[in-house]
Amino acid sequence: METHYTKIYTCNFILVQLITTKLEDIGIVPIIKDEFNTGLSAVLVTDYNRLLDIYVHNDELEKAIPVVESVKTEMEVQAKNN
């Protein structure tokens, strides 16, 4: 089966929210995939460390990758400053 989506990053819930917001700001609506919990449920405090996958449509890949790279760079800078 052919897919039209590409996984661009795997990260925790907090970073997924940050990346999703930044992608939506430029008109991209990502798909978030949670292999651990495939049904709908409330997010518990203990869920924040679970890894989630972010997918975007192949047509939006060129615009999405710089967003992810920017967030990764921001996180590296913050980690160095702490």
Residue-level pLDDT, tens digit, the chain, 82 residues: 578 999 999 999 899 999 999 999 999 999 999 876 555 444 555 555 689 999 999 999 999 999 999 999 999 999 999 7
Domain that holds residue 21: 5-81
**What pTM was estimated for this model as a whole?**
0.81
Alpha carbon separation from 38 to 46, 52, 75 (Å, rounded): 17, 11, 28
Contact 7, 51 (CB under 8 A): no
Nearest to 36 by CA among 46, 27, 23: 46
Please give the tally of structural domains in the chain.
Answer: 1
CA atoms within 13 A on the CB side of 37: 12
